[in-house]
Structure 1
Amino acid sequence: MRTANVVVKPDWLRVKAPQWERVGNVKNILRDLALNTVCEEASCPNIGECFNAGTATFLIMGPACTRACPYCDIDFEKKPKPLDPTEPPRLAEAVRRMGLNHVVITSVNRDDLPDGGASQFVQCINEIRAISPATTIEVLIPDLCANWEALAILLSAAPDVLNHNTETIPRLYRRVRPQGDYGRSLDLLQRSRQISPSVYTKSGIMVGLGETDEEVRQVMHDLRGVECDILTIGQYLQPSQKHLGVQKFVTPEQFDAWRNYGEALGFLQVVSSPLTRSSYHAEQVRALMNQHPRGND
């Protein structure tokens, strides 16, 4: 059941005002090329910082989603449109115009498509590589309804990072992610490592939805059990009164403790803070790749 947010937002969740001239430049590029970003569609609190830095997480095959997760601000009431073959080249042109060193491509859930949209991811990766070969590419993908052939097709395009979020702890899945499955998400990450050992795997969770510290630590153990490389942990923020309410605002000290715990478990990188989102400071993965290089195994 969706509940109203009655928890007072603490001072540490204040976001610095962005430089609107830079934000406007990025938005102009996105509007000119008719592209969606998860920054805008999901009401990300870091939109100002990321747009000021000239970065964006592109949302393909949307903005309508086939799932209705009660924490997410992406529209699920509109009917998804057929795939647009002009979207991949338009996205690649945006990468070129913005001069991105690292790009994140994510999507809505497209359970209406036989491959969950894997082929569209492939086309986007190929177009970016053709026009901006030095740009590293991260894909943040849905679970593809456990279509592992589609996963293999997507990985055949050799993204640098394969990100799939577990989102929350297993006990809360029915309430937070009713059309998802915790085991399926872990399976996807494990299979990704098996199919393409050279691709870095990544996952993220939200906190403040009623989980315990021990449950968060167990998810971290589970992710390391499938050799996940990178973990993000951030505070859930309620997009509107119709969405799930925040049960708790986690302190910065606790986020620091989780980062230390994750690093001790063996994650190559743990980004953990109240405002962390899946793609927050994603460009830092370039340094990680230099420190922990992988060949084409």
Structure 2
Amino acid sequence: MRVLVYLFSLVLLALPAMAQDKPQDKKDIDLALALGIDISGSIDPDEAKLQRQGYVMAFRDPVIVKAILGGPNGRIAVAYYEWSDSWMQKLLIDWTLLDSEATIAAFADKLANSPISIARRTSISGAIRYAVGLFGRSAYDADRKVLDISGDGSNNDGMLVTDARTEALKQRIAINGLPIINDRPNPFGFPAEADLDQYYLHCVTGGPRSFVEVARNFDDFPRAVRKKLLQEVADRGSRSDTGAAGLALHDGTRLAQARRTQASEDDDYTRFVRPGYEPGCDVGERRSREFWQRRFGTTPD
């Protein structure tokens, strides 16, 4: 009996120490949001600058700041990276906790002061695979994990975009899209893709409440970014079933409970995709091969 009492006392004494051992930055957050921005060769320096300014303006917008701080936990975490080829992803800002007006302003300032670069090919699949690893080492417990991919072309490098999407969805990472209908001439003479919004909708996005917000051109990008961020922070993307999105957003307790219930119901994120893109989700690869073969008599490395 004395041995049992002694062991029980040791457990009680260890509890405070165990609580202290928990990482202090392992905080519950409303959203872990990874922003993947296209810097492939089809985007010129002026267009790259417009993209960057769009995100800086969005995080300085009082309405978005209020939305970030107005969730059940009052904080989100954001990471920002740029991508092009299957092997080229550049992390500009690692996971950053946004839990006050000051931290949000600092994030926007850091983004504004980061250098802008341009690379070559378009690998949405590489950008998605990079994000899977990025989420895997996040220090935060998020109610939702969302990857936002923006770009002005279909996948033409690396693995198939649908295979990469499946990898992300299996990790319960929802993917939203921000396709840019590029109305400017491509530096390489590559034809524009008027149906890029449909490609993103059917081949790139997936997961509960996933959606596409279209930028009609690069000048329209700031508007599209603002609308997209508001939807993501408020968790108001499109969906075909009922659940958390149908609740009043001001009721934080009900919304959080509904999200947890919905999460258990939606463990299989892979079923939340929209098949049926008529040209096929490998259209970017085929267009690229045909273009380079026709113009130069060869295919790019």
Larger helix proportion of the pair:
2
For the superposition of Structure 1 and Structure 2, which TM-score range results when normalised by the shorter chain? 0.3 to 0.5
